[in-house]
């Protein structure tokens, strides 16, 4: 069961999502964390006292979120940042210095790939991108970070985090996981040996497509080093967005459980629908990583991809006919969205490489929202038209 606690003590994921990190329930205190817009805070008179400043990530709205997110991930500490890319960049800058090397899969969020291929080399940090093959031959003595996206965008591959964590440990490197597509409701990478996990909180954690934020969780030491980078690069989260993120997080478990169920049902239905060539969903038995997904994940997520017969033209016609699903990049909100990665996240990837990644010309990516699943199915049914 999705929400079943795997023999762990303490409150379950839904209870943590609602209550962890909240301010003490003292009489007359507000039930909801007040939004504190203050950029700065009065100091204590003794010089050793904490200096609170919103850019440092120590605004009360940040602190409540950090406590909630570390409880959700089972981490020592967490830090919220201005965006998912800020979380990714601050984590990598915390772990890497000139001369170091990163190994990551080629199937990576476009922004992460640009950071690795264009920004980090300017600092003298090299990256090797690997395909489906074993990661081991790509490792060098100076490899400091293994970076994985689980599940990956848009083919929803599920890397075996346990194996990558072992490999990283053997080589004195660190495994960092971008678990944006999974959320801590479905996957907590630290439980499987990863050293750090980060998210674009813009997606499922916020859940309403109305804020941009990121989070990194891991050891206190790593999080404090990431905070040092965040202070220098000025990548902290606005308190207004932090307040909205806390509000969104309280419902993450119910939203994601619904999205898991709807995506599974739609994946099964699409797999037998005329006009559909292939369905990619980690909860389907024919997914290449179905076994790993079952071992690592409590649910398989709300992202679902499929390939229509007839290639690009047919896929664009499907997008045009959809009424409930709307075309937009991004994902993880309450509303269902649709995109063709070849025109969005993978627009810069050469056709040959796109095809090698399994992104055929008729490839469509769905972000399943919380609408009635029957309406989503009818919408897809109508858009796919009669038997091909
Ligand atoms: C959206 C996304 C990011 C970047 O997050 P932002 O909040 O847009 O900066 C990183 N990784 C994945 C997997 C994403 O989907």
* Atom nearest to 88 CA in ligand 1: 10
In Å, how far are 164, 251, 382 from 244, measured between CA atoms? Answer: 34, 12, 36
β-sheet with 303-308: strand ranges across: 276-280, 303-308, 363-367, 337-339, 326-327
CA of 326 to the centre of ligand 1 (A): 19
The reported pTM is 0.95
Our answer on whether the CB atom of 305 is closer than 6 Å to any ligand 1 atom is no
Q: Which helix (H) or strand (E) holds 196?
A: strand 196-200
CA of 200 to the centre of ligand 1 (A): 4
Among the listed residues 203, 273, 316, 365, the single catalytic one is 203
pLDDT for residue 388 = 46
* Sign of torsion over alpha carbons 297, 300, 301, 304: positive
Count other Cβ atoms within 10 Å, centred on residue 382. Answer: 13
Among the listed residues 100, 160, 178, 289, the single catalytic one is 178
Contact 103, 127 (CB under 8 A): yes
Our answer on whether the CB atom of 202 is closer than 6 Å to any ligand 1 atom is yes
Distance, CA of 232 to CA of 20 (rounded, Å): 29
* Atom nearest to 202 CA in ligand 1: 7
Question: Which residue's CA is minimally distant from atom 5 of ligand 1?
Answer: 84
Question: Which residue's CA is minimally distant from atom 7 of ligand 1?
Answer: 84
DSSP 8-class letter at 84: H
Low-confidence ranges of the chain (pLDDT < 50): 1-5, 388
pLDDT for residue 6 = 54
What's the half-sphere exposure (Cβ side, CA atoms, 13 Å) at 222? Answer: 26
The token pair at 221 is: 């030491």
Our answer on whether the CB atom of 200 is closer than 6 Å to any ligand 1 atom is yes
Our answer on whether the CB atom of 153 is closer than 6 Å to any ligand 1 atom is yes
Measured over all CA atoms, what is the biggest interatomic distance in the chain, rounded to whole angstroms? 76
Does 55 participate in catalysis according to the annotation? yes
pLDDT for residue 353 = 86
Give SS3 for 353: helix
Q: Which of 384, 331, 339, 327 is nearest to 363 (CA)?
A: 339
pLDDT for residue 386 = 66
Residue 217, phi then psi, degrees to nearest 5:
-135, 145
| In 236-339, beta strands by DSSP E | 276-280, 303-308, 326-327, 337-339
pLDDT for residue 43 = 87
Parallel/antiparallel/unpaired status of strands 303-308 and 326-327: unpaired
- Ligand 1 pocket: which of 80, 85, 89 to mutate (most atoms <8 Å of CB)? 85
CA of 24 to the centre of ligand 1 (A): 32
Torsion from C-alpha of 43, 44, 47, 52, nearest 10 degrees: -40
Our answer on whether the CB atom of 186 is closer than 6 Å to any ligand 1 atom is no
Our answer on whether the CB atom of 203 is closer than 6 Å to any ligand 1 atom is yes
Question: Which residue's CA is minimally distant from atom 2 of ligand 1?
Answer: 200
pLDDT tens column, 2-38: 444 455 578 999 999 999 999 999 999 999 999 999 9
β-sheet with 143-149: strand ranges across: 77-81, 214-218, 196-200, 174-178, 143-149, 101-105, 126-130
Residue with tokens 């795997």: 6
Count other Cβ atoms within 10 Å, centred on residue 319. Answer: 17
* Atom nearest to 149 CA in ligand 1: 13
Does 286 participate in catalysis according to the annotation? no
Contact 152, 357 (CB under 8 A): no
Q: At what angle do helices 60-73 and 239-249 cross, to 10 degrees?
A: 40
- Ligand 1 pocket: which of 89, 112, 200 to mutate (most atoms <8 Å of CB)? 200
* Atom nearest to 201 CA in ligand 1: 7
pLDDT tens column, 267-316: 999 999 999 999 999 999 999 999 999 999 999 999 999 999 999 999 99
Contact 216, 235 (CB under 8 A): no
Among the listed residues 109, 198, 204, 281, the single catalytic one is 109
Does 109 participate in catalysis according to the annotation? yes
- Ligand 1 pocket: which of 80, 82, 87, 109 to mutate (most atoms <8 Å of CB)? 109
Question: Which residue's CA is minimally distant from atom 1 of ligand 1?
Answer: 200
Distance, CA of 339 to CA of 19 (rounded, Å): 35
pLDDT for residue 2 = 40
- The per-residue DSSP string of 140-151 comes to -TTEEEEEEESS
Peptide linkage before 358 cis (omega within 30 of 0): no
Q: Give residue 379's region: left, alpha or beta (phi > 0; psi -120 to 50).
A: alpha
Strand partners, 379: none
pLDDT for residue 358 = 87
């Amino acid at each position: 069961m999705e929400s079943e606690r795997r023999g762990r003590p303490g409150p379950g994921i839904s209870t943590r999502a609602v209550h962890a990190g909240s301010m003490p329930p003292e009489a007359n205190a507000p039930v909801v964390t007040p939004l504190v817009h203050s950029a700065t805070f009065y100091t204590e008179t003794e010089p050793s006292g904490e200096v609170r400043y919103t850019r440092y990530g120590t605004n009360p709205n940040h602190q409540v979120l950090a406590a909630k997110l570390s409880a959700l991930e089972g981490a020592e500490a967490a830090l919220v940042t201005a965006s998912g890319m800020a979380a990714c960049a601050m984590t990598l800058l915390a772990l890497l210095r000139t001369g170091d090397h990163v190994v990551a899969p080629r199937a990576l969020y476009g922004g992460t790939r640009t950071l690795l291929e264009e920004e980090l080399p300017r600092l003298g940090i090299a990256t090797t991108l690997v395909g489906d093959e074993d990661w081991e031959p790509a490792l060098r003595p100076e490899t400091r970070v293994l970076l994985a996206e689980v599940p990956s965008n848009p083919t929803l591959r599920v890397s075996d985090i346990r194996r990558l964590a072992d490999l990283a440990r053997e080589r004195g490197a660190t495994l960092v996981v971008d678990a944006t597509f999974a959320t801590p409701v479905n996957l907590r990478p630290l439980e499987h040996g990863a050293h750090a996990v980060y998210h674009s909180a813009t997606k499922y954690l916020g859940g309403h497509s109305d804020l941009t934020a990121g989070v990194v969780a891991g050891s206190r030491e790593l999080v404090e080093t990431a905070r040092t980078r965040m202070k220098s690069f000025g990548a902290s989260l606005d308190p207004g967005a932090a307040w909205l993120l806390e509000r969104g997080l309280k419902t993450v478990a119910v939203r994601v459980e619904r999205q898991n169920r709807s995506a599974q049902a739609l994946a099964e239905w699409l797999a037998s629908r005329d006009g559909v060539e292939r369905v990619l969903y980690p909860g389907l038995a024919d997914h290449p990583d179905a076994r790993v997904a079952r071992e690592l994940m409590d649910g398989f997520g709300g992202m679902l991809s499929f390939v229509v017969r007839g290639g690009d033209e047919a896929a664009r016609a499907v997008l045009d006919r959809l009424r409930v699903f709307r075309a937009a990049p991004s994902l993880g909100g309450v509303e269902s969205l649709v995109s063709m990665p070849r025109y969005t996240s993978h627009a810069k990837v050469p056709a040959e490489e796109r095809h090698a990644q399994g992104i055929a010309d008729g490839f469509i990516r769905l972000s399943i929202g919380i609408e009635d699943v029957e309406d989503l199915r009818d919408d897809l049914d109508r858009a796919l038209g009669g038997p091909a």
